[in-house]
Structure 1
């Protein structure tokens, strides 16, 4: 690969020289400009692989240069140099399309990491990855795939909004995988699943002896995700005291382990998600507005399944193929016409996750070749309520169905004197399907 080239735009000669020396030592060819006009002239006459610009320039604003590059050279990453502590400028630059930002005084280690991440984009080919892993032909899914591809070329914090079961974590994984951090850790954490008293230690780590039970030093989630992505699922469930600490970590790009005297710099990209309306929570005082603006620099919405019913046959085929493989079937069963019609008419309050659960149950109940409408066991459609109450109701329903399955399998095993082949015949399923369900449901 040819030597990468960088354009440095800053009216302060000492900063230009510092950045030039750093990038030259990294093996880059550099050109510098002191004004917007000079930068535009250089961009017009030659090609660059990377650009870094100051926010304030004698003849204009660095944001306009970022916007120009986004329009004319969208594949070239551009970073912004902002004044120390100017969080608003940093957020504005990311919203305008900046790859990342660095604050004055420029920390050379941070700058080198930023440039290294930006140049990794030259080596990534992400043309087909999203199409392979985010199934669907509906316009909303096509737009989502295009958005993922754009966001993968940035380091901006992303917030993914959408109902439960719409694939928010899958979207976060694709943004991570297709970007320059793709070979580094992807650390998902459910913010509602961590006990409040352990949150600070889990996120930031602790040093030995900092509290009862701290028998050794422990890395937190931020440090474990170093160089990669930290995915904060259900971020709306964070208590207010933890929101304050998270805001500082995001702004300062450093964390202080519990019991430590100094902060540790961290290099992670933050992607958050929730099925709740964060803006409403901000208005209610349940979520900090300043943290909301730092996490929600760019918002992505995952579409509900009922809005793209035409994708259900494709999704069903993909899910059934995977389930057949897991069940040891030679071929996936086919959905009969009435079953397909019922799936298209169902409103799917649990979205794609619920479709997976329905088909998993159906493949157990069917004869192994054809799934009938009765095998689906769909509930009557009801208006979808966008609240955690519905999520809890769906979870309770899933638990209830599992208990029914367990009871039916246990009764069949007892009648067959624990001969699994005979029990499978009584249940009208294959031996491999029964073995799979016994293992999945944890039946002794």
Structure 2
């Protein structure tokens, strides 16, 4: 999933497919999640430009998921809640937590498209200002993290962020992003193997962020090696994240996926 994707989270397959078809016809790229768990996994990988989030789902309701993202610093993209029978109190609570808007099912086509356009425009304006560590508070552990990052920022070497899934890797990675310089995340992992030079060109004088490198196939890893050899040429700062134990990956060569 890339930064221009719209993530649709809904347990009803018919609604997911209908919304996906409409938005793809309008030229948007779309990712789908049938429940909160899949949505968590996709959000942990990268930041979508917009999330359409159903309120009522069997494993975890949308408001609870919204709270999780807000608490962990991952609510840094516009989220539009959807429901066919939500109360006003629920809509107000979602807005208080940080939801951008609310769509009532069945969703009218023009209402959907207008809301998506507004949300994406809002997200573009907020992208460079909402992603900062202040979202996580001013506790001593956060201040110590900032001090460590400030020291690392003075060195041009690639950075590897490790920790548990959902640790807010992208939030930390954004610490290294300066002003209006490029911020690039590959749309698909295959880009690393098939067009690594294109990624470097897009990220020229900016940051290239690669999430969850512990899941990369050997073929994609070869593309990563190529990137590492060309970073200086394009003046690119490489930030990677990994939620899998590094020792596990070193001991078990088959821990990476694919071939």
Q: Could you state the TM-score of these two structures normalised by the residue count of structure 2?
A: 0.45
Higher relative contact order (CA 8 A, sep 6+): 2
Q: Provide TM-score, normalisation by structure 1.
A: 0.27
Of the two, which has the highest radius of gyration? Answer: 1
